[in-house]
Structure 1
């Protein structure tokens, strides 16, 4: 999704979990939206196979997340707070969101001194927070790492990630489907990336390019923005000037997509199939209106999933739908495509840009 601005990820196999309604955004196991399961089939009650969600031992969880200066980041924080409220056996100590690594280190120090039972941490910078997270682990406090990975495997008990490479693969696979369905000959495919220096952007672009190879296509025009509305509009305007005709456009981030759409409106350029990334509510409304073809989910529920895992780890439980008796060390969420066929199922989970 979205634009976590320092999110390195590794490309690993998706582990699909049916843990809560928060995981609906990760529930599709196919890039074909027609095969996406209805959101209603994934119960808000969570694990139906056991009593994992029944009240257990009281646990105190410390949560430290980013400053909510972006729609996706605000959704990350809000979903974590909302998830904790579902459990009478969870006391959540939520630190103020920050983009300052030093301030976040101080927050984790406080959690350690308070002897919380578990910590859920979306670090401002994974490398910068690795040492303090390792200290918490050494103090016997399990750390659940969210979205931006630490630089040491000893810094976290479990890690919850979105799939940036998978986002690109989903977008590229859908683009190939459009090429076939529309019988496009020599289509012009364009891409508006996020910040090129970030591994997450590189992963998304590589996944997109790799998937396009399946239908013998490449990206013809590409620009990079900065995950902001302003940069999205500026770079989209540059792209439109360079490419008088575009058949398919993939924009990495729905927040910067607000600016992209503004540029498309201003230039009256709606000839292309516009694919977004992250899964914002406004993108889904555009899909319903016919102004946008699709968007690819980057789940804003990762911290909520972190809360659920922290509770299970602190209570000595596993995940009921797995044979393994302990919580996995790594969970990578899926990146399904949302289009007009399934948008009503996903719209309630969309975040506001």
Structure 2
């Protein structure tokens, strides 16, 4: 097939497959492609998957982390009368009115990667992505198991670096971790929680403040490995050794830090699987297939002990 790709005002990529009566026009508005390599890889994988499907014409948009821009993009896709809209929400609450408009226009909405708030579920056809609460819970289990191996499960103190406030993935991973830790290691204390905004440099600054405030830190849980490696860098610079670092969404930098013996564990999640699952969910809906509302793909635990079973992430 012939693939046409056009960059419009640096915000939209239009992919046109072979024209035909059955062509599905699918628009996607992403959260913030430039913020980390996971989202960059996701976009590339989505474009590749759309380009390989001759039944799909895709309009690929990026909100750049701006809620107002994302709302405007959804409204523009409604005006274009696309057949389906995929949204990676910048904010799970704020986008609900725009998602409602798409629903009222008869356009099925698929939420990808990070769900919107529950108040908007009636306006969404399906969610495609990871189970972030389970990811947080699995991270707690990884950390607890390591503390037990070290014999410090009765006294360990943990600090927690979360993602962007208001972002559903950050909220759910935090909830999963903080709910599960008391169940598996009831004597472990989570002494402080601060946002790192998915940013390595900010997370390093957050960890620097933690290190000044707390003489005893046994573990650090971060909502993704990008933030976790920022925290690790702060600990290294301060000469603080023996801290167990656990994240979620295993980035290449996290994998490398695990290989070096500096970073203990994470959750393995593929942005390629994520993107391909979102597109398939949208096309399945348009083809009339029945899907579960929560359409999860698996995200297993990865630690220094089993990392040889997994390939290094490309993001």
Task: Please state which band the TM-score falls in when normalised by the shorter chain.
Answer: 0.7 to 0.9
2:34 is aligned with 1:63: no
Match of 2:260 in 1: 289
Structure 1 unpaired stretches of 5+: 1-55, 319-325
Match of 1:95 in 2: 61
Q: 1:350 to 1:270 in 2, by over 3 A?
A: farther
1:85 deviation in Å? 2.8
1:263 deviation in Å? 0.8
Counterparts of 2:305 and 2:172 in 1: how far apart (Å)? Answer: 27
Counterparts of 2:171 and 2:68 in 1: how far apart (Å)? Answer: 27
Match of 1:241 in 2: 212
Quick one: which of 194, 207, 214 aligns to 1:224? 194
Counterparts of 2:269 and 2:242 in 1: how far apart (Å)? Answer: 26
2:182 is aligned with 1:215: no
2:307 is aligned with 1:337: no
Task: Report the aligned-residue RMSD.
Answer: 2.8
2:129 is aligned with 1:158: no
1:337 deviation in Å? 1.6
Counterparts of 1:165 and 1:120 in 2: how far apart (Å)? Answer: 22
Q: Residue 241 of structure 2: SS of its match in structure 1?
A: coil
Which moves more between the two structures, 229-238 or 339-348? Answer: 339-348
Q: Residue 187 of structure 2: SS of its match in structure 1?
A: coil
> What is the CA deviation profile of residues 261-313 of structure 1, one whole-angstrom value per residue up to 9, with x for unaligned ones?
22122122231222122211110111112111111246645443211111111
2:288 is aligned with 1:311: no
Counterparts of 2:120 and 2:206 in 1: how far apart (Å)? Answer: 36
What is the 5 A alignment of 1:109-124? 109-124=75-90
Match of 1:39 in 2: none
**TM-score where L is the length of structure 2:** 0.79
Counterparts of 1:215 and 1:296 in 2: how far apart (Å)? Answer: 19
Which moves more between the two structures, 192-201 or 177-186? Answer: 192-201
Match of 1:128 in 2: 94
What is the 5 A alignment of 1:268-283? 268-283=239-254
Q: Residue 92 of structure 1: SS of its match in structure 2?
A: strand
**TM-score where L is the length of structure 1:** 0.72
User: More strand by proportion, 1 or 2?
Assistant: 2
2:230 is aligned with 1:262: no
1:133 deviation in Å? 2.4
Match of 2:103 in 1: 137
Counterparts of 1:80 and 1:129 in 2: how far apart (Å)? Answer: 22
Counterparts of 2:93 and 2:281 in 1: how far apart (Å)? Answer: 22
Q: Residue 67 of structure 1: SS of its match in structure 2?
A: coil
> What is the CA deviation profile of residues 239-273 of structure 1, one whole-angstrom value per residue up to 9, with x for unaligned ones?
22334343333222322223212212212223122
Answer whether contact 2:27 2:84 (CA < 8 A) is retained: yes
Q: Residue 270 of structure 1: SS of its match in structure 2?
A: coil
Answer whether contact 2:162 2:174 (CA < 8 A) is retained: no
Counterparts of 1:148 and 1:216 in 2: how far apart (Å)? Answer: 29
Quick one: which of 116, 134, 138 aligns to 1:149? 116
Q: 1:66 to 1:236 in 2, by over 3 A?
A: same
Which moves more between the two structures, 137-146 or 333-342? Answer: 333-342
Counterparts of 1:299 and 1:217 in 2: how far apart (Å)? Answer: 33
Match of 1:40 in 2: none
Structure 2 unpaired stretches of 5+: 1-20
Answer whether contact 1:169 1:208 (CA < 8 A) is retained: yes
Answer whether contact 1:122 1:303 (CA < 8 A) is retained: no
Higher RCO (Cα < 8 Å, 6 or more apart): 1
